[in-house]
């Protein structure tokens, strides 16, 4: 048994599988916690010796305990922005299968929030193509249920919305409003009256009219946002990049003690260069669970949008019909080079969003040009279409990858179509990366895909697309490797492997309890495993109903 100095534990867990993620002590029967850190990990008998009169002893009842999940990459602030919105996504992201289903979700949301007349009711994740009705929702569907509140159903792409009559009135769009160029305004048959759906340029007036939460409300939303992450088993969350306007909000939240999870932010790259804040010790800005750990640069776009930057063209041309299209960088190489150089000089970490291999080439050039120093744990975010020769350079330069195997499910079929089987099947190549000894995490990129880490694990192990194709069978990883990417490798990415990521004596008692053991279930059912409890430094921050 591994144990610290003899004293009574505050808390002991036993009675279920305990996955420690510690290679030297991979399985344990019980864990003891004191003062928010792990006191002991080992056999039930030995750990129970630390039970004192005030110790809470929890029987897991057959559930599984493991280190809490660490967010490899997401946009925490977006969770705060949608805190007041209803999730009207289609499965598996939400539960809306029909227009009736959307209305039911909205009604529940409306009742729960006790919205007064005139207040906006907003749903996110709307997708008309996924509805069993076979048509888009219209104002006539929504009006009977929401006569006095403007309702906006935001399209999953973010590029459109469906409004009810109250919302049309609120933004002043009616039969006499022309459709702007580059916009889509669906009108009722035989009439000019807008039916509900607005896309692209037609929705600009909505953007202006949507209520902006006050700073006070946003602060409250941060609690809801943390609850969203905690309910998914995360205790360390990321916001990269942090918009300059949001930083004071985080600082205030931290100072007021509103953070119960660890929030790690990364500077927006232009702001970083302009501010040139030196940060010799990346931990030095830590304050009540909030710290700025480095800078995030975005080098290219998205593969599903055909704006990721490749060395070889897309098979399907550009988003505007361009031929021989291979995407473009979204920042000049000069900018990337300057950011990497300054980050290395200030000794802060760099995260670089790169999806296409040409963007990765740009990053590797920038690293080299900045002197290729060791130990910086520069992390390529997504790194989806990395080539084998580039992975070898990751090893040489000590560069991490934060992969995104959820793409295999959500867009795997589309990638095969756009890029061909060879490139598509090598997306987020976790198995090859693991064999090379690379450090890698695997992320949600929330809001882009759902937070659920068991779903992320399921995609890493199965790589099944929506149509059921396996996108790169050779790159499916073991469940254990998939778990590492969500725990101990996450800690490593944050330079926190001495404090987090595994259940070991002295580390923080950041833990999660699952309904089943991912190492033991049929891999196809991993995504059905649920989080029942999340613990941050010995305190429960989420308790689900079991």
Partner 1 sequence: MTRKIAAIPLTILGGYLGAGKTTLLNALLGGDHGLRLAILVNDFGRINIDADLIASHGGDTVSLTNGCVCCSMGDNLAMTLLELAGRTAPPDHIVIEASGVADPRRVAFYGSAHPRLQLNAVMVVADAETLRLRLKDPYVGELVLRQLDSADLILLSKLDLLDDTERAAAHKFVREVVPQARIVEAVRGRVPPDLLLGMASTRAPACSPDRVLLQPLSHVPSTEHADRFARWSFVSERPFDRERLRATIESLPPSVLRAKGVLYLNGDRAHSFILQLVGRRWTLEAGNLSGEEDRLSRLVVIGPTESLDRSRLTDAFHGALVDGGRSRASRVCDVHGQGER
- As a whole number of angstroms, the distance between CA 77 and CA 234 comes to 15
Nearer to partner 1, 342 or 442 (CB): 342
Where does this chain touch partner 1 (CB under 8 A) — which range of 34-42, 355-363, 432-440, 465-473? Answer: 355-363
- As a whole number of angstroms, the distance between CA 405 and CA 426 comes to 11
β-bridge partners, 49: none
Nearer to partner 1, 331 or 419 (CB): 331
Nearer to partner 1, 299 or 430 (CB): 299
The verdict on 118 binding partner 1 (CB under 8 A) reads no
**Structure tokens, 222:** 């941060």
The verdict on 217 binding partner 1 (CB under 8 A) reads no
Please tell me the total number of residues recorded for the chain in this structure. Answer: 546
The verdict on 420 binding partner 1 (CB under 8 A) reads no
- As a whole number of angstroms, the distance between CA 118 and CA 134 comes to 30
Nearer to partner 1, 198 or 531 (CB): 198
Query: What's the closest the beta carbon of residue 303 comes to partner 1, in angstroms?
Result: 18
Closest CA to 121 of 218, 211, 195, 187: 211
Nearer to partner 1, 217 or 274 (CB): 274
Query: What's the closest the beta carbon of residue 171 comes to partner 1, in angstroms?
Result: 12
Whether the ω angle into residue 241 lies within 30 degrees of 0, i.e. cis, is: yes
* CB within 8 Å of 23: residues ≥ 6 apart: none
Contacting residue, 154, 293, 362, 477, with partner 1 by CB under 8 A: 362
- As a whole number of angstroms, the distance between CA 385 and CA 433 comes to 12
The verdict on 182 binding partner 1 (CB under 8 A) reads yes
Contacting residue, 43, 78, 201, 432, with partner 1 by CB under 8 A: 201
Mark residues 263-282: x for contact with partner 1 by CB under 8 A, - for none: -------x---x--------
* Under 8 Å between Cβ of 300 and 308: yes
465-494: contacts with partner 1 (CB under 8 A): none
Contacting residue, 83, 348, 358, 486, with partner 1 by CB under 8 A: 358
Report angle CA 405, 26, 53 to the nearest 5 degrees.
120
Query: What's the closest the beta carbon of residue 248 comes to partner 1, in angstroms?
Result: 13
Query: What's the closest the beta carbon of residue 522 comes to partner 1, in angstroms?
Result: 44
Nearer to partner 1, 32 or 173 (CB): 173
- Count interface residues toward partner 1 (CB under 8 A): 25
* SS3 of residue 28 by DSSP: strand
The verdict on 369 binding partner 1 (CB under 8 A) reads no
Report angle CA 393, 397, 403 to the nearest 5 degrees.
70
CA–centroid distance for 407 within its chain = 12
The verdict on 334 binding partner 1 (CB under 8 A) reads yes
Could you tell me whether strands 160-163 and 151-155 are parallel, antiparallel, or unpaired per DSSP bridges?
antiparallel
Contacting residue, 317, 333, 398, 420, with partner 1 by CB under 8 A: 333
Nearer to partner 1, 332 or 371 (CB): 332
Integer-rounded Cα radius of gyration of the chain: 24
Where does this chain touch partner 1 (CB under 8 A) — which range of 44-52, 259-267, 323-331, 500-508? Answer: 323-331
The verdict on 331 binding partner 1 (CB under 8 A) reads yes
Q: Is 484 exposed, middle or buried (0-12, 13-18, 19+ CB in 10 A)?
A: buried
Where does this chain touch partner 1 (CB under 8 A) — which range of 52-60, 199-207, 450-458, 485-493? Answer: 199-207
Closest CA to 518 of 546, 481, 544: 481
Where does this chain touch partner 1 (CB under 8 A) — which range of 28-36, 164-172, 326-334, 340-348? Answer: 326-334
Query: What's the closest the beta carbon of residue 363 comes to partner 1, in angstroms?
Result: 11
- As a whole number of angstroms, the distance between CA 153 and CA 126 comes to 6
Query: What's the closest the beta carbon of residue 61 comes to partner 1, in angstroms?
Result: 48
The dihedral of CA 242, 244, 245, 248: what is its sign? positive
151-170: contacts with partner 1 (CB under 8 A): none
**DSSP code, position 56:** E
> Which stretch of DSSP H or E encloses residue 234?
strand 234-242
- Contact positions vs partner 1 (CB under 8 A): 178, 180-182, 201, 204-205, 207-208, 243, 270, 274, 320, 326, 328-335, 358, 361-362
């Amino acid at each position: 048994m591994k144990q610290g100095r003899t004293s009574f534990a505050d808390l002991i867990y036993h009675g279920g599988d305990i996955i420690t993620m510690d290679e030297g002590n991979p399985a344990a029967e019980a864990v003891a916690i004191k003062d928010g850190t792990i006191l002991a990990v080992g056999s039930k008998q030995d750990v129970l010796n630390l039970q004192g009169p005030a110790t809470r002893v929890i029987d897991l009842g057959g559930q599984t305990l493991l280190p809490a999940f660490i967010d490899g990459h997401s946009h925490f602030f977006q969770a705060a922005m949608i805190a007041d919105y209803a999730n009207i996504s289609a499965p598996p992201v939400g539960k809306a299968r029909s227009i009736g289903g959307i209305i039911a979700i909205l009604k529940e949301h409306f009742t729960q929030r006790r919205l007064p007349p005139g207040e906006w009711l907003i749903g996110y994740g709307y997708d008309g193509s996924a509805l069993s009705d076979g048509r888009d929702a219209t104002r006539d569907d929504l009006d009977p249920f929401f006569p006095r509140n403007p309702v906006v159903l935001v399209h999953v792409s973010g590029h459109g919305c469906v409004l009810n009559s109250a919302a049309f009135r609120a933004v002043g769009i009616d039969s006499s409003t022309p459709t702007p160029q580059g916009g889509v305004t669906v009108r009722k048959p035989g009439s000019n009256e807008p039916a509900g759906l607005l896309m692209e340029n037609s929705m600009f007036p909505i953007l202006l009219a949507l209520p902006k939460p006050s700073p006070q409300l946003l602060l409250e939303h941060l609690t809801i946002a943390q609850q969203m992450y905690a309910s998914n088993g995360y205790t360390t969350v990321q916001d990269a990049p942090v918009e300059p306007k949001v930083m004071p909000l985080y600082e205030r939240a931290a100072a007021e003690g509103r953070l119960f999870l660890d929030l790690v932010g990364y500077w927006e790259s232009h702001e970083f260069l302009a501010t040139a804040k030196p940060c010799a010790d990346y931990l030095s800005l830590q304050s009540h669970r909030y710290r700025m750990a480095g800078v995030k640069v975005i080098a290219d776009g998205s593969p599903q949008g055909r704006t990721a930057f490749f060395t070889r063209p897309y098979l399907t041309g550009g988003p505007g019909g361009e031929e021989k299209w291979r995407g473009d960088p979204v920042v000049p190489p000069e900018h990337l080079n300057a950011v990497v150089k300054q980050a290395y000089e200030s000794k802060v970490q760099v995260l670089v969003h790169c999806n296409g291999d040409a963007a990765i080439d740009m990053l590797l050039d920038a690293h080299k040009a900045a002197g290729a120093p060791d130990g910086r744990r520069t992390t390529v975010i997504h790194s989806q279409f990395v080539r084998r020769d580039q992975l070898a350079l990751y090893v040489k330069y000590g560069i991490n990858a934060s992969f995104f195997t959820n793409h295999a499910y959500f867009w795997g079929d589309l990638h095969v179509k756009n890029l061909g089987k060879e490139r598509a099947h090598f997306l987020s190549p976790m198995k090859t990366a693991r064999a090379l000894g690379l450090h890698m995490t695997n992320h949600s990129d929330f809001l882009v895909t759902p937070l659920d880490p068991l779903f992320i694990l399921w995609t890493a192990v199965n790589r099944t697309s929506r149509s059921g194709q396996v996108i790169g069978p050779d790159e499916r990883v073991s469940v254990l490797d998939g778990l590492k990417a969500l725990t101990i490798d996450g800690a490593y990415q944050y330079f926190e492997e001495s404090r987090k990521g595994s259940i070991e004596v002295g580390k923080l008692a950041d833990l999660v309890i699952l309904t089943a053991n991912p190492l033991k279930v049929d891999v196809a059912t991993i995504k059905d495993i649920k989080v029942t409890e999340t613990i941050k430094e010995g305190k429960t921050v989420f308790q689900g109903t079991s």
